[in-house]
Structure 1
Amino acid sequence: MAPSHKQWIIPFAVQLIPAGLLFGGSFFLRESPRWLIANNKREKALKNLSWIRNLHPDDLYIVEEIAFIDAAIEEQAATIGMGFWKPFKAVGQSHRVQWRFFLGGMLFLWQNGSGINAINYYSPTVFKSIGINGTSTGFLTTGIFGVVKTALTLVWLFFLIDRLGRRNLLMIGGAGGGVCMFIIGGYISSVNISKTSDHLSGGGTAAIFFFYLWTAFYTPSWNGTPWVLNSEMFDQNTRSLGQASAAANNWFWNFIISRFTPQMFNTMGKSGCGVYFFFASMMIVSIPFVYFLIPETKGIPLESMDRLFDVRPVRSAHAVIHAEDEAREAEFRLDAEGAGLSVAKEKLEHHEYTTEV
């Protein structure tokens, strides 16, 4: 495209498309049933929960989940109370919760330590270090990188996150991405990039292949999974503060990595090969961190998170808590069926209870 006003206005306009879709889609989002119950909007909470679960309001599963939400809210009111500053109080009083905040923050250290934001912000520099010369070629390669990320994000969202689980995705992504980064760094350290021609050699082509393979490992693992874990690993008492902590940690480590990436390329090895070895090492080290410290949260309700993080060894925690929850649900269903419990009866009993209180 010839130099003109369009050179900046078109890229700017394209960025408005996802923002517009997000804005429009927000009008169709349903409010959380837990929030509605906590704010005395019980009938709407029941309607939203039935829509989310795709079950009739009289289904026993809906009755069961409403009862568990009630119990969690009552426990929160009895322990830390309701209010803006109460989650801070809960974190300050519990070493177990502080440990979870540490784990959630460290996930973003490993995420940014993979090199993703160094590539996002300095992609022309990154591709030049591999041997990609020319502005147009560099931009094309960067564009392909974005397309690959977008496509694999959809695969992660619709197929992988709830099939492979959070732990498995993170460990697979760390192992595969680390190997790819080591190979790229090895190639750069073995050739003189500055003297290569505009035409990529076989080794350069292989390096580009492993870069996109790294993208294929990273995107369905470390790209979004830390956010999912942080949304699941905190109980109702501290969940909102946990999400705020996750965002703060993400931007802090994002700033650290992006701030020093140019200096890293200038000082870490020939043609910046040490940068790739550094990112590779960070991805490999993330594997034992996840294996020994991060339990699987897939399918575990928020009300069971405290118990989940208490089970040792961590790799067995998911199976133990899942079995406990199944036993508790079976007992609840047996008692509910014996008592002829229904949503109508549960709503009446709750109304009588709140009236008496």
Structure 2
Amino acid sequence: MGFCDKSFALCLSGVLHGQYLLRDGASFAGVQAFAPFAKQFGSYNAAKKTYALSPSLASLMNSLALIGKFLGTILVGPLTERLGHKKTMLVTCITQLVGVVIQTTSRAPAQYTVGRIIIYTAVGLVENVVPTYQTEISPAPLRGFFVGALQLFLTFGSLLAGIVNNFMSKRTDDSGWIIATALQAAPAVLILIGLPFTPDSPRWLVGKDRSEDALKVLSNLRSKEEVANGLCEFEVQALREDGQVNMKKEPWMALFNKQNRRRTCIASVIMALQQLTGVTFSSSYGPTFYKQVGLGSMAFSYATINNAVSIVTAIIGMLALDAFGRRDVTFWGNWIQALFLCLIGGLGSKANRSQSDTDGMVASFILYAAALHATLGPAAYITAAEVGTAALREKTMAFATAINVVVGFVVVFTTPYLLSAPYANLGPKLGYIWGGCAAAGAVWVWFCMPELKGRNLEEIDQLFEAKIPARKFSSFQTTGMSHDLALFEHSNAKAVAAGLGDSTHLEKAETQGSKGDAKDEV
């Protein structure tokens, strides 16, 4: 595809929103281990002669924040449908900033937790509005790259949080945790600066009967050659022809009717798997885990290395998901996660663990997270965002994210009890639980996850309407204008000009476009 510099910048401005995702989770994972923070919000442990958050308080402060994320997932559908993605992003930024102010002025666990709930409301909003926005604005051959970039910025935000936490943890006063917490406002400020340059989704505009505005947006997003060859007019007409049946937004209950329940199930299961393979365990309890297994002096350093390696693999995932497909990458990624998670359990559960066993356990933890961020992590967001119909895309994503929140709540709430004494005290053996879930996830991918690589959103509707098994999605031949649009998107500008540029479909698009404009005037 011949993306112009302007269109690339516009899409990238949307990708920047990915820095929000779990930004607070990554920060709090380290902040809760700060000695001044523990003194301010925790209690004195006479046996260890230090201040610490009790397992029950740590569980509540980590898990209750997910109430906000759940609220965000409920609000995002109606907000996006009514206001569009751009204005919903504005609401998200304001919500984030309010939460940061409440947290940084906290002197009690309850106030700090309220701030986290508000920030996670922003997380719930952005975790839905960004993938659906990028899914609708990106051409099919690059959709995995752009939506998958969300995982890259998530990991990049975690790396920044880890670096800041590493430096701030050395401070002996409250300024350390306050500064680390306040930096959560930085992504919101960056996004507010880039928001005026971010276009509305062309599909949302067509759904609002604003085809001319959609055409203007596409003219800015496509290369000069593609604009000159009529691709934008063709794309708008394809949206009007193939999306006219599904363009009107449907109620929540439509997610579970005969036509949509398969899509809803796919989106929900893959978002649940992302949590069940331990993503929250890695992001929220990384430093705590290292301390628990006797690596307290290196806890923040290992967490930073973990995030740095994951950034590299997230970039690999951005390319791999479009090159090799969502299905294969996710399938093998789950098996790799299962392997390293079970190695964590096996090496860490030895009664007399040697230094090589400890090193192997740390390496396994880093490699597990690396595999997650290259495969299932981005694939979950991509699949959940692209699998829904135009009439239910925001609600499908929102419902799947709500499932993600509920499962994540269970994971975050139970982890302190599973990890530490005097409760289950599984420690590294917790890896067996997440590893088993990863293996089960691989089996589900093989039988149920469809391959949507390279398909435009209108083609995906045809695939599900055909009611074919998941394994046959990649070989199914679509028809109509959505198929021709896919050929446009997969061809370079010269091929478009020489081939489809004079096709009857293009002539039909121009003719019907004129009729549509005349009808609008009437």
Q: Give the shorter-chain TM-score range.
A: 0.7 to 0.9
Q: Could you tell me whether the CA contact under 8 Å between 2:255 and 2:396 is conserved in 1?
A: no
Mean alpha-carbon deviation: is it higher for 335-344 or for 160-169? Answer: 335-344
Q: Which residue of 2 aligns with 1:208?
A: 362
Q: Distance in 1 between matches of 2:222 and 2:207?
A: 19
**Structure 1 residues 323 and 296 mapped into 2: Cα distance closer, same or farther (>3 Å)?**
farther
Q: Distance in 2 between matches of 1:101 and 1:234?
A: 7
Q: Could you tell me whether the CA contact under 8 Å between 1:36 and 1:44 is conserved in 2?
A: yes
The one-letter amino acid paired with 1:316 is K
Structure-to-structure mapping, 1:270-285, within 5 angstroms: 271-285=426-440
Q: Could you tell me whether the CA contact under 8 Å between 1:172 and 1:217 is conserved in 2?
A: no
The one-letter amino acid paired with 1:7 is G
Q: Which residue of 2 aligns with 1:72?
A: 242
Q: Tell me, yes or no, if structure 1 residue 263 matches structure 2 residue 417.
A: yes
Q: Which residue of 1 aligns with 2:349?
A: 189
Q: Could you tell me whether the CA contact under 8 Å between 1:177 and 1:214 is conserved in 2?
A: yes
Q: Which residue of 1 aligns with 2:515?
A: 349
Mean alpha-carbon deviation: is it higher for 139-148 or for 164-173? Answer: 139-148
Q: Tell me, yes or no, if structure 1 residue 318 matches structure 2 residue 479.
A: no
Q: Could you tell me whether the CA contact under 8 Å between 2:344 and 2:429 is conserved in 1?
A: no
Q: Distance in 2 between matches of 1:9 and 1:3?
A: 12
Q: Distance in 1 between matches of 2:467 and 2:253?
A: 24
**Structure 1 residues 5 and 128 mapped into 2: Cα distance closer, same or farther (>3 Å)?**
closer
Q: Could you tell me whether the CA contact under 8 Å between 1:149 and 1:219 is conserved in 2?
A: yes
**Structure 1 residues 133 and 74 mapped into 2: Cα distance closer, same or farther (>3 Å)?**
closer
Q: How far off is 1:13 after superposition?
A: 3.4
Q: How far off is 1:259 after superposition?
A: 0.7
Q: Could you tell me whether the CA contact under 8 Å between 2:268 and 2:403 is conserved in 1?
A: yes
Q: Distance in 2 between matches of 1:154 and 1:23?
A: 25
Q: Could you tell me whether the CA contact under 8 Å between 1:234 and 1:242 is conserved in 2?
A: yes
Q: Could you tell me whether the CA contact under 8 Å between 2:337 and 2:435 is conserved in 1?
A: yes
**Structure 1 residues 201 and 281 mapped into 2: Cα distance closer, same or farther (>3 Å)?**
same
SS at match of 2:323: coil
Structure-to-structure mapping, 1:1-357, within 5 angstroms: 1-54=170-223, 55-76=225-246, 82=248, 86-88=250-252, 90-92=254-256, 94-129=257-292, 131-134=293-296, 136-157=297-318, 159-192=319-352, 201-266=355-420, 271-309=426-464, 310-321=466-477, 326=483, 337-338=503-504, 341=507, 345-355=511-521
Given the two structures, how large is their TM-score scaled by the length of structure 2? Answer: 0.59
SS at match of 1:224: helix
Unpaired runs of 5+ in structure 1? Answer: 194-199
Given the two structures, how large is their TM-score scaled by the length of structure 1? Answer: 0.84
Q: Distance in 1 between matches of 2:275 and 2:294?
A: 24
Q: Could you tell me whether the CA contact under 8 Å between 1:114 and 1:282 is conserved in 2?
A: yes
Q: Could you tell me whether the CA contact under 8 Å between 2:500 and 2:506 is conserved in 1?
A: no
**Structure 1 residues 335 and 29 mapped into 2: Cα distance closer, same or farther (>3 Å)?**
closer
Q: Distance in 1 between matches of 2:393 and 2:520?
A: 25
The one-letter amino acid paired with 2:283 is N
Q: Could you tell me whether the CA contact under 8 Å between 1:177 and 1:283 is conserved in 2?
A: yes
Mean alpha-carbon deviation: is it higher for 314-323 or for 213-222? Answer: 314-323
Q: Which residue of 1 aligns with 2:108?
A: none
Q: Could you tell me whether the CA contact under 8 Å between 2:384 and 2:396 is conserved in 1?
A: yes
Q: Distance in 2 between matches of 1:329 and 1:207?
A: 46
Q: Could you tell me whether the CA contact under 8 Å between 1:233 and 1:305 is conserved in 2?
A: yes
Q: Distance in 2 between matches of 1:176 and 1:21?
A: 36
Q: Could you say which structure has the larger radius of gyration?
A: 1
Q: Distance in 1 between matches of 2:403 and 2:506?
A: 49
Q: How far off is 1:189 after superposition?
A: 2.1
**Structure 1 residues 202 and 329 mapped into 2: Cα distance closer, same or farther (>3 Å)?**
closer
The one-letter amino acid paired with 2:402 is A
Q: How far off is 1:248 after superposition?
A: 1.1
Q: How far off is 1:192 after superposition?
A: 3.7
The one-letter amino acid paired with 1:349 is K
SS at match of 2:186: helix
Q: Distance in 2 between matches of 1:340 and 1:286?
A: 43
Q: Distance in 2 between matches of 1:121 and 1:287?
A: 24
Q: Distance in 2 between matches of 1:329 and 1:181?
A: 40
Mean alpha-carbon deviation: is it higher for 340-349 or for 57-66? Answer: 340-349
Q: How far off is 1:191 after superposition?
A: 3.1
Stretches of 4+ moved more than 4 A in 1?
266-271, 322-330, 333-336, 342-346
**Structure 1 residues 340 and 246 mapped into 2: Cα distance closer, same or farther (>3 Å)?**
closer
**Structure 1 residues 314 and 323 mapped into 2: Cα distance closer, same or farther (>3 Å)?**
farther
Q: Could you tell me whether the CA contact under 8 Å between 1:171 and 1:291 is conserved in 2?
A: yes
Q: Distance in 2 between matches of 1:204 and 1:249?
A: 35
Identity rate, percent: 22
Q: Distance in 1 between matches of 2:320 and 2:406?
A: 28
Q: How far off is 1:284 after superposition?
A: 0.9
Deviations 1:65-95 (A, max 9, x none): 2222011342236xxxx35xx3335335x22
Q: Distance in 1 between matches of 2:510 and 2:375?
A: 43
Mean alpha-carbon deviation: is it higher for 26-35 or for 173-182? Answer: 26-35
Q: How far off is 1:298 after superposition?
A: 1.6
Q: How far off is 1:98 after superposition?
A: 1.6
The one-letter amino acid paired with 1:280 is G
Deviations 1:8-51 (A, max 9, x none): 23212333333332332333221111111222322221121133
The one-letter amino acid paired with 1:347 is G
**Structure 1 residues 127 and 240 mapped into 2: Cα distance closer, same or farther (>3 Å)?**
same
SS at match of 1:162: helix
Q: Could you tell me whether the CA contact under 8 Å between 2:417 and 2:425 is conserved in 1?
A: no
Q: How far off is 1:265 after superposition?
A: 2.3
Q: How far off is 1:247 after superposition?
A: 2.1
The one-letter amino acid paired with 1:317 is F
